[in-house]
Structures are given as C-alpha cells and as structure tokens.
C-alpha cells in the first residue's frame, strides 16, 4: 500500500512539473491549435477551449513571447471565444443568465490593443482591429446586461473599457467602437454608472468633460452640479446650475437640481421663485405644490416667532395652506401635504401656548391668556383630522403619533392620548403597529 501511494504521489508531482515546464513557444502554438479545434465544433470540443486558456496563460506570461503579435492576437481570440460562451447563454436564457466570465471581453480587448501596438505588418494591424471591434461589441452587450440588472459597478467597468477600445481603434485608423453621434450618450451612461457605483472621481471627470464640451443634454448639467455639491464645491456647482438654467430655461431637471440645493441651504426667498417656475413647468405635479407650501411654512414660522399678529405672518400662513390644499386636490393621498397642513395648525397652536405661558397674573394678562388658550385649542381641533388621515395612511409615522397623543391630551381625551403614546412607544422600541387605528378614507 505504501509503495502504491508513493507511486501515485510521484506521478502527480511528475505531471505537475511537466505542465509547469511546458515550453512557452510551443504553448503558444498549442493554444492556437486548441482554439482552432474548439471553433470547429464548440459544443463537442469544450475541453479544447480550456486547453487553449491554459496554454495561452503559459505563453503570454513568458518574456520570450512578449513582443510577438501572435501572442496577443491569439490571447484576444481565445478570450473573445470565452466571452461568446456567456453571450450565447444569455441569448438562450436571458431571464436566468449570469455571466461566468464577466472579465473575458476586457482581457480580450486588452490583448488586441497590445497586438495593435506592436504590429508592423498591414495584416497584423487589420486582424488586431477586427478582434478589437468584436471585443467592443461583446463589452457593449455585457455592459447593457449589467445595467438591466442594476449591477452598476460592473456596468461602469465594462462600458468604460469600450471607450479605451474606441480610442485604440481611432488611433489605429479603424472604425470607431462608438460612433461620433453616440459618443456623448455613451460617456453619460458611463458617468452615471460610475456615480451609482460610488466611483465619484471618474463620474466627475466624465461629467466635467461633457459640460466643458458644451453638451446639449440638460441631464449633464443637473448631474454634474449634484456631484460638485456632494463634493463640497458649491461655487462650481452653482456656476454649472446657472449655465444650465440659462441654456435650458424650461428644463425641469436642471430646475429641480437648483431647488434641491436651495432647500438644503434654506434660502426661502430664492426657493419661492424657483418653485413657482417649477409649478408653471409642471402644473399637475403635487410634490412641487407641497414643496412651495413648505417654503411658506418656514417663512411663516420665522415671522410668527417675531410677531404672531403680523400681517406678513398671516400671509405666509395662508399661502402655505393654499399650496398644500392644491397638492391634495391633485392627489388626495399626498402624505406630506396632508401631514403638513396638520403640522401648520399644530405648530401655530404650540407657539400660542408658549406665549400664553409667559403672561403674568394681571386681569388683562389673564384675559389674553384665556384668549390664546382658546385659539390654541381651536387650532389643535382643526389639525386633528389631518393627523387622523396620515395615521390611516402610515400607522407608524412617529411625528403623527406624537401629534395625536398631544392633541387628545389637550382635548382631555386621556384614554386616546394614552393609547397613541403606547403605539408611539412600539415604534420607538423598534416594532411596528400592524394596522392603523383610523380607517382609510
């Protein structure tokens, strides 16, 4: 038994040494022959592609073959064949397809680029560019698959390499991989995928290139400005937005990018105008009305805190209420708009209670106190049905549950107040209420 075990071990070692000592130049020839056999009948000669891969690995890693066009041409053709296996599988069963060799077309393209760089004969350049064109097609097919499956990291890597192939083909005098008419769109797609896969630097580079090239696509201005803002380059972002607004005055994508920026900065005076422009552009979009309502709510809160009797505060309150109601007219299930109306009344009531609490004990002050408490209670009662509505829409919204528990406490309905506090605690403890207390309308 020991002798037999030793013999098997010796045979394994001998085989391994034999394989590792394969002559690189012969390996190159064997790789080409194995590929030829595979191409004659891929279904029956699958093992020949495996052999070709093994042999080209030995051949391409040896310095003796590094300057041979044949090395890289053969490697490119082998990896193109490997990529074809994936694309065939995708065509046969697109629903369940997953690439086994996602890097194969990149490896193929890289090999053809090397072949093209060292080619001196006309036919060598022609063959390399032919293989490179084929590889670019496979890269595009695979890249589109990755986009469909929302694998943006691989989509970016694959489609970005198409641009590398395109540069090589153009430099070599061949037909481009990306037609001039499609080049901007291709860059945009790559930039989008780069951004979606958190490669912000590459996305920024591509969007900058498109922007500085005077792109006629407003999406580029919106996307580039968003990236610049996220990177803290606010001055540049604003310059891009201004250029976009000037170039595409009626485009909503650029407009909403500007709106989002000014919302983050709480510049309500600028937002007021921008949101009115947005309403003019999209009069049936309830979200825009809600956003403008929130602008007026913030303006109201600022003014009301200074003087609760000012005409300006009343104007802001009414404007806010008006825009929220318009949003609800367009969509009765606009949670944000319904909640915001309740919040508008509720917060005003809270401010009045706070003011009442600062009054003294004189007769005049007590009369003022009673007046403020009465007005506050009326506002709470007005707010209640809006919070009942949002609770029916989302039974686990924390702010709605807080408002309901406090309103019922003010109304001396301690049982309901306690019940909503308990429902609130369920959410705060990480749980959820299985259904809403109030029925859906």
How do residues 228-251 score in pLDDT, each as one tens digit?
988 889 899 989 988 998 888 778
What is the distance between the alpha carbons of residues 274 and 265, in angstroms, rounded to a whole number?
14
Is 129 within a domain? Answer: no
How many other CB atoms are found less than 10 A from the CB of residue 88? 11
Query: Does pLDDT of 57 surpass 70?
Result: yes
The reply to whether 425 falls in a domain is no
**What's the pLDDT score for residue 33?**
96
In this predicted structure, the answer to whether residue 4 has a pLDDT above a threshold of 50 is no
Residue 367 lies in a domain: no
Question: What is the model's pLDDT at position 274?
Answer: 82
Asked if residue 273 belongs to a domain, the reply is: no
Domain-located, residue 250: yes
Contact by Cβ (8 Å): 195, 214 = no
Q: Is the pLDDT of residue 58 over 70?
A: yes
pLDDT grade, residue 309 (50/70/90)?
Answer: confident
pLDDT surpassing 60 at residue 61: yes
Question: For residue 221, what are the domain limits?
Answer: 185-265
pLDDT in tens, 344-362: 999 999 888 888 888 888 8
Residue 250 and residue 185: Cα distance in Å, rounded?
Answer: 21
Determine, yes or no, domain membership for 100.
no
CATH number of the domain at 257, please: 1.25.40
Asked whether the predicted pLDDT for residue 441 surpasses 80, the reply is no
Model confidence pLDDT, tens digit, residues 132-166: 999 999 999 999 999 999 999 999 999 999 999 99
Number of domains in the chain: 1
Q: What is the mean pLDDT of the chain?
A: 89
149 in a structural domain: no
Convert the chain into a string of H (helix), E (strand) and C (coil). Answer: CHHHHHHHHHHHHHHHHHHHCCCHHHHHHHHHHHHHHHHHCCCCCHHHHHHHHHHHHHHHCCHHHCCCHHHHHHHHHHHHHHHHHHHHHHHHCCCCCCCCCCCHHHHHHHHHHHHHHHCCCHHHHHHHHHHHHHHHHHHHHHHHHHHHCCCHHHHHHHHHHHHHHHHHHHHCCCCCCCCHHHHHHHHHHHHHHHHHCCCHHHHHHHHHHHHHCCCCCHHHHHHHHHHHHHCCCHHHHHHHHHHHHHHCCCCHHHHHHHHHHHHHHCCHHHHHHHHHHHHHHCCCCHHHHHHHHHHHHHHHHHHHHHCCCCHHHHHHHHHHHHHHHHHHHHCCCCHHHHHHHHHHHHHHHHHHHHHHCCCCCCHHHHHHHHHHHHHHHHHHHHHHHHHHHHHHHCCCCHHHHHHHHHHHHHCCCHHHHHHHHHHHHHHHCCCCCCCCCCCCC
Task: Give the global pTM.
Answer: 0.66
Residue 199 lies in a domain: yes
Measure Cα distances from 103 to 131, 142, 226, 362 in Å. Answer: 16, 10, 31, 83
């Amino acid at each position: 038994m020991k002798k037999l075990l030793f013999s098997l071990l010796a045979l394994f070692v001998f085989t391994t040494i034999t394989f590792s000592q394969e002559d690189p130049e012969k390996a190159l020839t064997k790789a080409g022959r194995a590929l030829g056999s595979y191409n004659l009948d891929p279904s029956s000669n699958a093992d020949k592609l495996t052999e070709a891969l093994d042999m080209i690995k030995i051949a391409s890693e040896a310095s003796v073959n590094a300057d041979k066009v044949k090395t890289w041409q053969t490697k490119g053709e082998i990896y193109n064949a490997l990529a074809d296996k994936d694309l065939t599988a995708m065509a046969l069963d697109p629903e369940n397809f997953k690439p086994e060799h996602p890097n194969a077309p990149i490896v193929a393209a890289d090999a053809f680029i090397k072949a093209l760089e060292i080619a001196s004969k006309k036919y060598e350049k022609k063959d390399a560019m032919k293989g490179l064109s084929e590889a670019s097609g496979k890269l595009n097919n695979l890249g589109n698959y990755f986009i469909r499956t929302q694998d943006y990291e691989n989509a970016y890597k694959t489609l970005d390499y198409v641009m590398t192939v395109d540069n090589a083909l153009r430099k070599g005098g061949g037909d481009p991989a990306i037609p001039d008419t499609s080049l901007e769109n291709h860059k945009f797609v790559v930039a989008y995928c780069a951004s979606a896969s958190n490669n912000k630097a590459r996305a920024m580079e591509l969007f900058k290139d498109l922007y500085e090239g005077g792109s006629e696509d407003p999406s580029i201005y919106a996307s580039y400005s968003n990236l610049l803002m996220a990177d803290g380059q606010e001055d540049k972002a604003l310059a891009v937005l201004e250029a976009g607004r000037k170039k595409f005055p009626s485009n909503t994508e650029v407009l909403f990018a500007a709106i989002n920026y000014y919302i983050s900065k709480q510049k309500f005076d600028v937002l007021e105008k921008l949101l009115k422009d947005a309403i003019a552009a999209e009069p049936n979009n309830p979200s825009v009305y809600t956003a403008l309502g929130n602008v007026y709510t913030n303006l109201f809160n600022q003014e009301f805190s200074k003087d609760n009797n000012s005409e300006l505060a009343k104007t802001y309150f009414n404007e806010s209420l008006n825009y929220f109601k318009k949003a609800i007219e367009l969509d009765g299930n606009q949670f944000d708009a319904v909640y915001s109306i309740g919040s508008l009344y509720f917060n005003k009531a809270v401010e009045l209670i706070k003011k009442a609490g600062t009054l003294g004990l004189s007769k005049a002050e007590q009369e003022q106190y009673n007046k403020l408490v009465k007005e506050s209670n009326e506002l709470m009662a007005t707010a209640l049905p809006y919070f009942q509505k949002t609770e029916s829409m989302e039974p686990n919204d924390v702010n709605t549950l807080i408002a309901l528990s406090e309103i019922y406490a003010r109304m001396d309905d301690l049982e309901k107040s306690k019940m909503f506090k308990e429902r609130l605690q369920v959410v705060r403890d990480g749980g959820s209420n299985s259904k809403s207390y109030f029925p859906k309308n």
